[in-house]
Amino acid sequence: MPDSPRRRLLAVYLHDHLTGATAGTRLLRRAARRHRDSAIGRELEELAREVAQDRRSLKRIIWDLGLPPGRLRTLAGRATGEATRLKPNGRLVRRSPLSDLIEVEAMRLGVEGKAAAWRTLQDLAPYEPRLDSDVLHHLLRRATRQAEILERLRRQSAAHAWGTSPVD
């Protein structure tokens, strides 16, 4: 893609996703620490590692495309991640049963957004030789698996919040 307004739009688009990846990585790491002595904590830790790898992959794609860095957006991602901690959920001082549910839903939304970005880049790959379709396919498959794991955790969190059993 030659230097053009579309190239600048692509830079904004990818940096927006990088911002989301920064916030998502922080949210996953924080949740994994909170549940560190459980199976859920181990799953969240693995997801945090993978999302951090995906973030590095996105940074590599931005670099390979020769797009300018977006430092302000990266800082915004950190601030957004911290702001999620301030979300009121019915309790001011301590976590409520809704806290885990809201966080897992946010994680799932982030992963779904990431998957959409990988699909968008797959659509662009035939026109941009610096995009590797095989890498994008791998990243999309991983995002799909991550979304499935987070959906299972969402259902468990909802069942816990409502005092019911997860429905299969």
**CB atoms < 10 A from the CB of 87, how many?**
11
In single-letter form, the type of residue at position 5 comes to P
Please check the confidence at residue 46 and state whether its pLDDT lies above 50: yes
Look at residue 163 in the predicted model and tell me its pLDDT: 92
Q: Tell me the percentage of the chain whose pLDDT exceeds 70.
A: 83
Give the whole-angstrom CA distance, residue 98 versus residue 84. 13
CA 39 vs. chain centroid, Å, equals 20
Which stretches within the chain are classed as H helix?
A: 5-34, 39-64, 71-83, 97-124, 133-162
What average pLDDT does the segment 29-38 reach?
A: 95
Please check the confidence at residue 77 and state whether its pLDDT lies above 50: no
As given in the structure block, the two tokens for residue 132 are 């590797």
**CB atoms < 10 A from the CB of 102, how many?**
16
Which residue, 168, 160, 122, is CA-closest to 38? 160
**CB atoms < 10 A from the CB of 67, how many?**
18
Could you tell me the domains of the chain?
5-70+99-162 (1.20.1260)
This prediction has a pTM of 0.85
pLDDT digits (tens, 9 = 90+) for 90-119: 545 567 879 999 999 999 999 999 999 999
Kindly give, in sequence order, each residue whose CB lies less than 8 Å from that of residue 4, ignoring residues fewer than 6 positions away: none
Look at residue 89 in the predicted model and tell me its pLDDT: 53
Give the whole-angstrom CA distance, residue 7 versus residue 5. 5
Look at residue 97 in the predicted model and tell me its pLDDT: 78
Look at residue 71 in the predicted model and tell me its pLDDT: 64
